[in-house]
Amino acid sequence: MQLRNSKCEQRKFCKLPAPQKMLKSISLQNFRNYKHKTFEFSPDTTLIIGPNTTGKTNILEAVFLISTGKSFKTDKDFQMLEFGKEVGRVGAYVNPSASSAGSSQASSEQVAKLEVVITNGNVSGVKSQYKKFLVNGVAKRRVDFAGNLISVLFSPQDLDIIVDSPGLRRRFLDNVLEQVDREYRAANIAYIKAIRQRNALLELAREKGIKNDKQFEYWDNLVIENGQVITQKRQDFIDFVNKSPKDILEFILIYDKSVISRQRLNQYKTEEVASAVTLVGPHRDDFSVLMTDKKDTHDVKYFGSRGQQRLAILQLKSCEILFIEEKVGQKPLLLLDDIFSELDSGHINLVLEKAGNQQTVLTTTHQEFVPKTLLKKMEVIELGENGN
């Protein structure tokens, strides 16, 4: 499998650069290892340098939290808090780029303050929400908060998307679609809630030895309606990837969808009561990556080298950027976590090529990892002990 040079002229997206919302600054309070810290970012590239355990990835996690309303490191919100604290905050100022604002400097009215308040669930002895979202001081639901700043994350852990569990691949699809599609966000939030309620009813049915179909009717309708929205939008994204030109590695995605319908729920109703879980639906989706050439097609997970798996992820992330540009008409913020120590020089150059035309924040342990020609164009944040 040969690596091909990028040809911008092959991409319709390269003709007119899309505008991009810019991250101006982010403030962390009782977040991970940061008691109180503010970081400012270049509209081009910001390099964060520091030894391991100083909190480089925590900064990217905070930016990702502002983008999606979720962490990429944990499913338990309270774990983002500094140890022993009840409340933490992540606040960010975002403004349109010059091309988006129509002037060299955005006006104060165009600057948005995005904020996520995190709690341990019990503040001063009173039960509280784990997360609250605010835009310019106004409380929002996550469905309306996510997407105000759109980002694409590339970290060494992304290499596991292809080779690890289906859950990682579903999370990848969610991270792409939730940022750019409000209908998908709403459907996914409603679906997850409905599945939890339905599974609780299945557990009750197993305990009693009988299933009351009337109790299930409302939740069945919700999982079917929202599940079908999720499936269709995931299919649309996978179709987009398959039709997109690929300048890093040729592959196709095969969507192994778990279709949800009343007929399929009825088909598995006995097995569902026995297992006390919903056995069909997009929470059981998966996809595979098939590398193609003139002679053969094979699954990268099982038959690709580690190098080919890396190239497949880089190409998938490249398609994610193109998809975002088409859906929302703006370039995403690119977050690159420790790529210099995890990738070889060829792969690093491919990633940095993607970063050339959009705001980028990247981390590294050593400044010397960064090519000198690029370093002089970057703004640098150096972290010491405890992120100071």
Interhelix angle 345-354/306-328, rounded to 10 degrees, is 0
Write down the residue that tokens 């039709």 correspond to: 243
**Two tokens, residue 329:** 């008409």
How far apart CA 224 and CA 229 sit, in angstroms, is 9
Assigned fold of 166-329: Glutathione S-transferase Yfyf (Class Pi); Chain A, domain 2 (1.20.1050)
pLDDT in tens, 158-175: 889 999 999 999 999 999
Do 9-150+331-388 and 166-329 show the same overall fold? no
- Domain range annotation of the chain: 9-150+331-388, 166-329
* H/E stretch holding 364: strand 360-364
9-150+331-388: CATH superfamily: P-loop containing nucleotide triphosphate hydrolases (3.40.50.300)
| Percent of the chain whose pLDDT exceeds 90 | 72
**Residue 264 CB coordination number (10 Å):** 15
pLDDT tens digits, 223-263: 999 999 999 999 999 999 999 999 899 999 999 999 999 99
Q: Looking at the predicted structure, is the pLDDT value of residue 110 above 90? A: no
- On the question of pLDDT at 108 being above 50, the answer is no
Whether residue 20 contacts residue 332, with contact meaning beta carbons closer than 8 Å, is answered with yes
What is the value of pTM for the model shown? 0.87
